[in-house]
Chain A
Amino acid sequence: MILRALWMLLLPLLLLPGVARGQDAPLGEIIARFANVEKFDQTEALVRELGATGDPGVRPVLEALAEGNLYVRKVDNAIFIVPGSGKVLKLIDPLTGEEADEASSSALKKVRVNNGLRRLIRDVLSTLTLGAKSAEARMAAADTMFANPDPAMIEALDAAIEAESDPAVKLRMERARAAAVVLSDLPESDKIAAIELLGSLGDRSVLSLLATVEANADGDLQRAAADAIAEIRSVLAAWDAAQNVWFGISLGSVLLLAAIGLAITFGVMGVINMAHGEMVMVGAYTTFVVQGAVHAFAPALQEWSLAFALPLAFLVAGAIGVAIERGIIRFLYGRPLETLLATWGVSLVLQQAVRMIFGPSNREVGNPSWMSGSFEIGQMVITWNRLWIVAFSLGVFVLLLFVFNRTSWGLHMRAVTQNRRMASSMGIRTPWVDAFTFGLGSGIAGIAGVALSQVGNVSPNLGQSYIIDSFMVVVFGGVGNLWGTLLGAFSLGIANKFLEPYAGAVLGKIIVLVLIILFIQKRPRGLFALKGRAVEA
């Protein structure tokens, strides 16, 4: 209702931009009144008043208000826009946009906002932007109108559609118009056309609108609405399945990253590495440290701190891995179950060490902007960070395959793990190969930590939360086979995500675990069993 009232007020302004200005109180006077507000509804009234002026000049003020950057100077109750934070702040005149003064933060009082106000400001701004220069702003305006359909704005939209050149924006505007038409008292044929348009777009959010039409109308209109609903439903069902597959792939890529280092240390070397999760944790904390360092020394490179973190995480985790191998594991070859004990001890020590160095609470690792947000394909939402992680995990996988199958180092590794004595007689320095293989596995876990810091916690418990899943993936896929790990990770991920909507997150996971247990009965050596004599113990 609020919005409808607003529309009535704004409609003439939209149609005749730039004409009906300056009749009300001058902007400066309204803005000055922000100094005296005490309650949110007073602020709300002022925002409405500013919006009603229709003056594009209110834009910076409203934006600053929404972002919490509008301040009152305590001494003289003057209003300023104050971007940034710190002890000494720059004051910007809200009308001219020029730097006016400087003041300490204690001399200023913030004009408070809440969700309701931010929403109002967004709506007010969008009505000012249907004719804006940037396509993005026009699109946002059209979407706001679509979310709050109102027959009164059909004319405004018609005008805007006429002038629109960007086809994507035009479509959004037409969608907004159709939604408004459905609610209007236009002739039935118009409405049916609008319903058909809405139905063909297949958007979930028009379902409730159409359902109201279906409930209240009769005859052709009702039939058209019912058809449109059925059409949308069937389209959505297909998209939902696609969405689930994507979620599964994305979960699978996380599992793959967590498990692939283990596929080397456990799968290839036979070391039951309970400290594997802690290597992931070390990688994540390296990311945290690198991000802090970049922020302090080279703020310009902030966006690319992950690129620095990757090699460093590999080196740090790899070095710790080599140290563990040289210090502990090399004494335990041929006794895999004892490596479990020792590495469990290592994991306790590493966890507590991190807890003492970085504190027990979560650490913040930010997403760079190229990994934030999402985009849509039809009715499917794909977030950038997940997409990057899928790509990254596949990249790591291909790299490892290359190292194992195409380099001499990989050849040595395979030789040593398959027949140590023979390899040794052929002149391979087996101790070094062991150390580097373990270091490689740990280093890969480290770079997995860089990626996982983008979706989850960075805390001393990080490793613990991945270790069980990692073991499941490696065993399910078949120990000693990288392809098995890949297929294991993705099939577990997709199975999980398909079960989740029906069974819920908890039950879904239980079912997957039971399936793994049953699967192992069927194939006691995992998906890809190694063949040959070596298999039989």
Chain B
Amino acid sequence: MSSSLFGGGLDRRILGLLAILTSAAVLVPVLNLAVPPTSSFHIPTYAVALLGKYLCYAMLALSLDLVWGYCGILSLGHGAFFALGGYAMGMYLMRQIGTRGVYGHPVLPDFMVFLNWKELPWYWYGFDQFWFAALMVMLVPGLLAFAFGWLAFRSRVTGVYLSIITQAMTYALLLAFFRNDMGFGGNNGLTDFKDILGFSLQAPTTRAALFSISALMLAIAVIVTAVLVSSKYGKLMIAVRDAESRTRFLGWRPENIKLFAFTVSAVMAGIAGALYVPQVGIINPSEFAPANSIEIVIWTAVGGRGTILGPVIGAVAVNWGKSWFTAAIPELWLFALGGLFIAVTLLLPKGIVGTWDAWRAARRARRSAGKGTSQVEPPVAEGTTARTTRHSIEPQPAE
């Protein structure tokens, strides 16, 4: 157990999270479909859709955590990878509409028909096949991240410079996708989807299934991240985060390590986007908005970066807060949200998870000091503490 830090990868809290996710993947559909609406155990379809959306956000936050929390790359453009994955899925869903569009054109999506497009642009080819779309969901964000990272990390662009050019990247994509001439539906984006793999998207069973898939994919993402960060590569990532120059002087190639993390993270974000689109029913350029990418950073920070649990909790908690506030206090919710961010930064600098760990460790330390006897498993507790404190040290680009 004491090696659970970086050795085993899956410590018990992660196992707990996995258990919650897998049981949710089974229980939520059952409670939604099999339990009658009158029962107090029934979960309404509305809540299923909402929870599914949160899980996609959680996966997105986790992907950001991989590069930010573990590798020290603050990406302010992760929304771009998410949106690209979403667009790839959206294009598949558009092609599935077929003749059921309002104009009944068998090949062209509606927006192309009324803008007088005569044929399908080449980059839409192949998206009628699910396998191709699924491939593109991973390939497009992955390739973009690879190309971007290859340029940026080799030129040793770091710190705020990197953050700002990732922001420039997502902003440029935002403007590009806004253009109707691009053939992605302009501001309206892609919408009015009918079915996926032959299942109607409006059917409660499809929704429940999408939820389960999201939960399972998140579980897989958690496993991948946990294994990755506890592997040798993960240690190198942390080394790069904490002292890039030193790592380089020790003979490693930080740019390759960063590039690897960045690409994996982008693929993960792309998958999250692809799962998100069929559940919310629309993908449009506003997903590229720099503000959205900043929000992802905030979820991660609120949950606690450099932990696996943190981003998941942060994404779910902040978005649930947003859903709830926008209905309960529609005029004032921005105060609540803004206040939350300020409070978390000032009072919980390590995020929810980090603070919780620190509090527990302090309590345990007090208790063991008081009793003067050792606890059942002190190494774990101390290990956890050490990890969270270390992780919260921000690499400082000195001015």
Measured CB to CB, the residues of A under 8 A from B are: 266, 270, 272, 274, 328, 331-332, 334-338, 340-342, 344-349, 351-353, 356, 417-418, 464, 468, 471-472, 475, 479-480, 506-507, 509-510, 513-514, 516-518, 520-522, 524-526, 530, 534, 536-537
Contact = CB atoms under 8 A, between A and B. Distances in A.
B155 A521 contact: yes
A86 to B, nearest CB: 36
* Secondary structure call for the B interface: helix
Given A520-B161, A537-B395, A340 B294 contact: yes
Given A345-B338, A517-B168, A524 B398 contact: no
8 contacts: A266-B160, A332-B345, A348-B338, A349-B334, A517-B151, A517-B172, A536-B245, A537-B245
Nearest to A505: B175
A537 B345 contact: no
Contacts of A534: 398-399
A349 B159 contact: no
Given A472-B164, A537-B159, 6 more contacts: A328-B346, A335-B349, A352-B338, A479-B160, A506-B179, A537-B398
Interface residues of B, number: 50
Contacts of A331: 346
Given A345-B339, A352-B332, A510-B175, A475 B294 contact: no
Given A335-B349, A335-B394, A516-B165, A341 B159 contact: no
Contacts of A479: 160-161
A514 B338 CA distance: 32
Contact of B155 (A346, A510, A524): A524
B160 A475 contact: yes
Contact of A480 (B169, B297, B399): B399
Contacts of A521: 151-152, 155, 157
Given A506-B178, A510-B176, A340 B297 contact: yes
A356 B395 contact: no
B203 to A, nearest CB: 38
Given A337-B394, A341-B345, A344-B294, A507 B179 contact: yes
B164 A471 contact: yes
A521 B151 CA distance: 7
A328 B339 CA distance: 11
Nearest to A513: B172
Contact of A510 (B172, B341, B345): B172
Closest 6 CB pairs of A and B: A345-B341, A348-B338, A349-B338, A352-B334, A513-B172, A537-B397
Interface of B: 74, 148, 151-152, 155-161, 164-165, 167-169, 171-172, 175-176, 178-179, 244-245, 290-291, 294, 297-298, 301, 331-332, 334-335, 337-342, 344-346, 349, 394-399
Among the interface residues A464, A507, A524, which one has the most CB atoms of the partner chain B within 10 A? A524
A281 to B, nearest CB: 14
Contacts of B245: 536-537
B342 to A, nearest CB: 4
Given A336-B160, A352-B335, A475-B164, A341 B172 contact: no
Nearest to B245: A536
B294 A513 contact: no
Given A336-B160, A479-B160, A522 B155 contact: yes
Given A337-B74, A513-B168, A534-B399, A345 B337 contact: yes
Among the interface residues B148, B341, B399, which one has the most CB atoms of the partner chain A within 10 A? B399
A348 B345 contact: no
Nearest to B151: A521
Contacts of B338: 344-349, 352
A513 B171 contact: yes
Among the interface residues B176, B178, B297, B334, which one has the most CB atoms of the partner chain A within 10 A? B334
A525 B161 contact: yes
A520 B165 contact: yes
A401 B335 CA distance: 37
Contacts of A336: 160, 394, 397
A336 B162 CA distance: 14
B175 A506 contact: yes
Given A475-B164, A510-B175, A348 B341 contact: yes
Nearest to A514: B172
Nearest to A529: B161
B172 A342 contact: no
A475 B165 contact: yes
Nearest to B394: A335
A345 B340 contact: yes
A423 B156 CA distance: 31
Nearest to A508: B175
Nearest to B176: A510
Contacts of B398: 534, 537
A472 B168 contact: yes
Contacts of A507: 179
Contact of A537 (B148, B158, B165): B158
A335 B340 CA distance: 18
A348 B334 contact: yes
A352 B159 CA distance: 31
Contacts of A341: 297-298, 301, 341, 344-345
A468 B167 contact: yes
B161 A526 contact: yes
A350 B172 CA distance: 27
B290 A468 contact: yes
B295 to A, nearest CB: 9
A509 B171 CA distance: 10
Contacts of B171: 468, 513
B325 to A, nearest CB: 12
B157 A524 contact: yes
A505 B148 CA distance: 25
